[in-house]
Amino acid sequence: MAPRGEAAAGPDPGAAGLQARELILGDLSQPGMVHVATIRSPTACGRLVSVKAPTLPKGYRLILPADIPGENRIVSFGAELPVLAAERVTYVGEPVALLAGPDLATLGDLAESTRVLVEEEEGTFSWKSFASEQVVAKRVAVIGDPELAFSIADKVLEGEYDSGALEHLYSEPQGALAAFDYDKMAIWCATQWPYHVRDCVALVLGGAGEDVVVRPTRLGFHLDGKLWYPSLLACHAALAALLCKKPARILLSREEDFRCTTKRARSSVSLRTGLDATGRLTALDFRISLNVGAFGPLAEEMLSQACVAATGAYSCPNVRIEGYAVTTNTPPLGAFAGLGAAPSFFALESEAARLASAAGQDPVSWKSRNVLRKGSSLVTGDPLKEEPPYEEIAGRLGKASDFGRKWACYELVRKRRAGRDDGPLRGIGFAFAYQGAGAFLSGGAPNSYSVEATLDKELRLSLKTSAAACSGTMIDLWRRSASDLLGLPLEEVSVAPPDTDLSPNSGPVTLSRGLTVVNKLVERACQAIQKRRFRDPLPISAKAVYRIAKPLHWENGRIEGSIFETAAWGGAVVEVELDPWTLEPKPLGLWLCADGGRIVAPSRARAALRSGAATALSASMRESLEFAADGAIGAEYYRYGILPPGELPPIHVEILEADRRAPAKGLGELPNDTVPAAFMAAVAQAAGANFQSLPVGPEALADWEET
Amino acid sequence: MTIHFILNGEDVSMNATSADRLVDLLRERFGLHGAQADCRRGTCGKCLVLMDGRLAPSCLLPAFKARGREIVTYEGFAQTDEYADIAAGFAEAGVECCGFCDKGKILAAAAVVERSSRPTKEEILAEMAEVPCRCTDPETLVRGVQAAAERREGRRYRRASQ
């Protein structure tokens, strides 16, 4: 049975050809449907004593962990978390029970009257210094002899850079609708990872994966906030549907979503750098702490990505990396426009401005001396297979932004400035980074995906992939790739709805994987069809399977495996002016340049980069989530402000042209990897001081003004 | 109380309490689901309607505020020539939304184009701040609205010259 959109004016879900991804979860309902409300933990840590609901009217039901027919857990990248907390609670807002019933308002009143009794214990919130039992993942890598290199280094500098929690503000709050479709449990939800939803629901209901079918609804803008959390809510909806024997929908309010769902992990990178007399990097020492909140569902993957990105785009013969993913009694924290690399790029790129200054060089020249080259050793010891286009990117950015002249002028003004009335407080910063394309890096991550393609007798090509839950733009790109390869008109290429019964598992759709992994699979499947096209009778079907050859392996201080198959390289320049009285930074311009390999749709790539740059600048200037003393999210949704479009500076984007046969690379994370560090470097130059984290808050500015 | 107002060009009336918000009545009584009750704080821009030609967050508007006014929802606006101008302008500039904020952005574009035949970047971005979705690049959006304004002017000119 297909869900009915409530909208009289909306699409008819029963109509032939309608794809689930066109439906909006908030508009879906089914006859006799019950709503589901979540009863949450009021405290951050303790033993759960009881959940007492008031007397429930007919048709309403309380669902407790004991009602779960299968296992009370979901698994994500090797980490486990309960579907409903059974004995212990671990963060404020953790689901401990569900209430299901037909009327949403009554359900709200009942949920408010339900009492959760917890024997409260002291929570753990420290994460930069932590106890060993808080560590859920650890990585250590040593290359060369860092201590010897530090002992003979000409200059040694130390720095520490923090990245705070951020809210995704995705297009629709999280939720799920569950209903029996004959003998299967059907789930509709906006998810980046349909097969994860399927497997989690099957585990919780005590069935097999084939007993569950997931039909993703419109995903919208997600910034990687809908990787695993929809699976938890799908389990809640499926439990309610099973126990009430009726369709069940859970849809969080914005406020509830804001307070209780996953946010960007907090991170702190302490680094020590050694330079020789010419300013060349001779030693690097990193200590990375990642606060992954309760359970740390993405901890393994995020820590791996943070550690391999620690050395940024630079070559250094002696490196030590020590990384810890640490749990605390806050809501689970995880991905945000990437899975952990951005805070590492932010730290080293921010420090690079200081290193250049210590070496008496401008940032562009210093980076040119230290940047990775073809054949340079990566942290795994493998040589880099391609030449990073540093000179071209830095050159284009320098020309577009007039970086060299402005940087020198602002340095002079800063050095000669006598007081706040003496000239504008301006600064300009430059950052360079890469976005690795390929599979996940941690052992617990799934690394086998496939795409199917069928060319029928009417020469129409149908692509099947569970990744089709993503945006129409991405789907259009796959269609174009297939159309180009097989010489078919674009309108003859279609992508089937991402139904787990019909589409093969293509893994989670993150910002970059749709373009890198899935697009490559589309191309391979089409190439396989092309080979057989004029030999075999139609229809011809082909399946392309992707398996990572060497999963990353950390042991005895060594990293083995492949960090990325290919990488997109990019740079950003940000120019800012500080208000002389309020010291508030005002961005004057933002320039981006990227090498994204073969660009299927240049105008869309530029628009994606501009949109990503706006998000990254907003996160750098305005956005910050504060946590209360009990680990709960202290802010309120409506106070969480993003930078209004009118306050954005002009954003200039350049993309390097590539050969038509070059691989397509993901670009979506590059703004997030470069813009914060460029902004930080610009603010630091304007103020003539170094700051530890973004946004640069009033306290940091007040301290700076005093000094 | 009974409230009379114009909804998408038609005289309508409905009973409402003082606690009823316009967005709920539009969805439940009139089956108009273009406006979504997402944040209920007037901040997300998914519930926007045009009230006497100006953008209004229907999740915050008490239903009685609609009395005697002209309310245009996305569904009603989508039947107009002005909608065709905006849709064509957006397509020309390559505006691609996430599928959730597009209705709000189209109505915001309608409001700004209604006020100014040649809207400036500042005017457009000020109106678009009512729909704070991260999905669309502001520069493309500005080009889309300006293209829509040009089309609208062209259409008016052609009509006048006929």
pLDDT digits (tens, 9 = 90+) for B43-85: 899 999 999 999 999 999 999 999 999 999 999 999 999 999 9
Residue with the bigger pLDDT between A205 and B158: it is: A205
Element (H, E) at B27: helix B22-28
Tell me what percent of chain A is helix, strand and coil, each rounded to the nearest 5. Answer: 30, 30, 40
Residue A27 to chain B, least CA–CA distance (Å): 8
**What is the distance between the alpha carbons of residues B131 and B112, in angstroms, rounded to a whole number?**
13
CA A130 → CA A133, A272, A295, A304, A514, distances in Å?
8, 21, 15, 19, 37
Q: Looking at the structure, do residues B58 and B86 belong to the same domain, yes or no?
A: no
Alpha carbons A353 and A350: distance in angstroms, whole number: 6
Which of B14, B48, B76 finishes a domain?
A: B76
> Across the interface, do A221 and B126 touch by the CB < 8 Å criterion?
no
Choice between A421 and A595, residue whose per-residue pLDDT is larger: A595
SS3 A537: coil
C-alpha torsion sign, points A56, A57, A60, A66 = positive
- Which pLDDT score is estimated for A3? 59
**Token pair of A71 as six digits:** 């296992």
Chain B, residues 86-145, CB within 8 A of chain A, namely: 94, 96, 98-101, 122, 125-126, 128-129, 132-141
> Which whole number is the average pLDDT over A434-452?
73
- Tell me the nearest-neighbour CA distance from B80 into chain A, angstroms: 16
The pLDDT value recorded for residue A459 is 93
Which pLDDT value is given to residue A12?
35
- On the question of pLDDT at A268 being above 50, the answer is yes
pLDDT tens digits, residue range A284-317? 999 999 999 999 999 998 999 999 999 999 999 9
Residue A420 is predicted with a pLDDT of 64
Query: How far does B2 lie from chain A, in Å, by closest CA?
Result: 23
Candidates B63, B55, B1, B53; CA nearest to B27 is: B63
Residues B105 and B44 occupy one common structural domain = no
Which residue of chain A comes nearest to B125, CA vs CA?
Answer: A646
Mean pLDDT, range A528-535, rounded to an integer = 93
Q: Where does the pLDDT of residue A550 fall: very low under 50, low under 70, confident under 90, or very high at 90 and above? A: low
Report how far Cα A650 is from the mean position of its chain's Cα atoms. Answer: 25
- d(C-alpha A603, C-alpha A357), whole Å: 37
> Are the Cβ atoms of A614 and B32 closer than 8 angstroms?
no
Q: Determine the pLDDT at residue B85.
A: 95
pLDDT-derived band at A19, boundaries 50, 70, 90: very low
pLDDT tens string A678-695: 999 999 999 888 898 888
Give the per-residue pLDDT at A7: 37
pLDDT, one tens digit per residue, over A360-416 is 999 999 999 999 999 998 888 888 988 999 999 999 999 999 999 999 999 998 888
Are A216 and A491 in contact by the 8 Å Cβ rule? The answer is: no
* Predicted pLDDT at B99: 87
Residue A5, pLDDT above cutoff 70: no
Predicted local distance difference test score (pLDDT) of residue A636: 82
User: Strands A248-251 and A34-40: what pairing?
Assistant: parallel
Nearest chain A Cα distance for residue B130, angstroms: 9
Nearest CB neighbour to A9, from listed B31, B41, B140: B31
Contact A227, A165 (CB under 8 A): no
Model confidence band, residue A129 (pLDDT cutoffs 50, 70, 90): very high
Which domain covers residue B127, as residue numbers?
81-161
Positive or negative, the CA dihedral A73, A76, A77, A80 is: negative
Of chain A, the percentage scoring pLDDT greater than 70 comes to: 93
Q: Considering only CB atoms, which chain A residues are within 8 Å of B34? A: 7, 9
- pLDDT at B111 > cutoff 90: yes
Could you tell me if B99 and B148 lie in one domain?
A: yes
- The pLDDT score that the predictor gives to residue B62 is 95
For residue B38, list chain A residues with Cβ-Cβ distance below 8 A: 26, 172-173, 254
Nearest CB partner across the interface for A614, out of B38, B98, B137: B137
The whole-number pLDDT of residue A446 equals: 60
State which amino acid sits at residue A260.
C
Q: Which tops the pLDDT comparison, A490 or A658?
A: A490
Measuring CA to CA, how many Å separate A214 from each of A10, A76, A80, A220? 22, 17, 21, 17
Q: Which ipTM was obtained for this model?
A: 0.89
Tell me what the pLDDT averaged over chain A comes to: 89
Domain end (from B31, B47, B76) = B76
In the numeric block, which tokens belong to residue A27?
């508009």
Residue of chain B minimizing CA distance to A640: B43
Q: Which residues in B lie closer than 8 A to residue A6 (C-beta atoms)?
A: 27, 31, 33
Which residues in A have their CB inside 8 Å of a CB on B? 5-10, 24, 26-27, 169, 171-173, 218, 220-221, 223, 253-255, 471-473, 603-604, 606-608, 610-611, 614-615, 618, 637-638, 642, 644-646, 648, 650-651
Global pTM value: 0.93
Give contacts of B36 with chain A, Cβ < 8 Å.
24, 26-27
Query: Is some CB atom of chain A closer than 8 A to the CB atom of B75?
Result: yes
The reported pLDDT for the residue numbered A15 is: 35
Cα–Cα distance, A588 to A506 (Å, whole number): 42
Task: Give per-residue pLDDT as tens, A646-678.
Answer: 899 999 999 998 776 777 787 888 999 999 999
Please say whether the dihedral angle defined by the alpha carbons of residues A405, A406, A410 and A413, taken in this order, is positive or negative: positive
Q: What is the CATH number of the domain that holds B39?
A: 3.10.20.30
For the residues A475-504, what does the mean pLDDT come to? Answer: 90
CB contact under 8 A, A604 and B32: no
Number of folded domains that form chain B: 2
Is residue A444 over pLDDT 60? no
pLDDT at A2 over 70: no
Do A448-547 and A342-351+362-438+565-706 have the same topology in CATH?
yes
Q: Which of A501, A493, A395, A411 is nearest to A453 (CA)?
A: A493
Q: According to the model, what pLDDT value does residue A77 have?
A: 83
For the cut 90, the answer to whether the pLDDT of residue A13 exceeds it is no
Specify the length of chain A in residues: 707
pLDDT score at B136: 86
* Nearest-by-Cβ selection for A611 from B39, B125, B135: B135
pLDDT the model gives residue A17: 36
Minimal Cα–Cα distance from B160 to chain A, Å? 34
Read off the pLDDT of each residue in A194-206 and give the average, rounded to a whole number.
96
Q: Out of B33, B99, B126, whose CB is closest to A220?
A: B99
What is the pLDDT at residue A10? 38
Q: Which token pair is A480?
A: 């174009």
> Residues 4-63, chain B: which have Cβ within 8 Å of A?
27, 31-34, 36, 38-41, 43-44
Question: Residues A58-104: pLDDT tens digits?
Answer: 999 999 999 999 999 999 888 899 999 999 999 999 999 999 999 99
Contact A615 B75 (CB under 8 A): no
Supply the pLDDT for residue A11: 37
Section B98-125 average pLDDT: 94
Tell me, what CATH number does B148's domain have? 1.10.150.120
How do the domains of chain A map onto residue ranges? 342-351+362-438+565-706, 448-547
Q: Are A250 and A240 in contact (CB under 8 A)?
A: yes
User: Does position A542 have pLDDT exceeding 80, yes or no?
Assistant: yes
CATH, domain A342-351+362-438+565-706, list 1.20.58.340, 3.40.50.2000, 3.30.365.10, 1.10.3720.10: 3.30.365.10
Tell whether B50 and B107 lie within a shared domain: no
Percent share of chain A, pLDDT over 90: 66
Residues B90 and B71 in one domain: no
**What is the rounded distance in angstroms from the CA atom of residue A565 to the CA atom of residue A549?**
10
Domain C-terminal end among B47, B76, B105:
B76
Nearest to B132 among A24, A610, A642 (CB): A642
User: pLDDT at position A438, please?
Assistant: 61
Nearest to B126 among A607, A646, A650 (CB): A646
Q: Do A651 and B139 touch (CB under 8 A)?
A: yes
How far is the alpha carbon of A401 from chain B, nearest alpha carbon, in Å?
18
Determine, for residues B129 and A646 on separate chains, whether the beta-carbon distance falls below 8 Å: yes
Three-class secondary structure of residue A139 per DSSP? strand
Domain A448-547 fold: Aldehyde Oxidoreductase; domain 4 (3.30.365)
Q: Is the domain of B120 the same as that of B140?
A: yes
Q: Are residues B12 and B58 in the same domain?
A: yes
> Hey, of B24, B33, B46, B74, which one would you mutate to test binding to chain A, going by the most A CBs within 10 A of its CB?
B33
CA A549 to chain CA centroid, Å, is 24
* Residue, of A32 and A555, whose pLDDT is higher: A32
DSSP letter at B101 equals: S
- Which of A22, A475, A611, A622 to mutate against chain B (most B CBs within 10 Å)? A611
pLDDT at position A16 is 33
What single-letter DSSP state applies at residue A311? T
- Residues B57 and B86 placed together within one structural domain of the fold: no
Q: Which residues of A touch B135 (CB under 8 A)?
A: 171, 220-221, 611
Q: How many CB pairs under 8 A join A and B?
A: 109
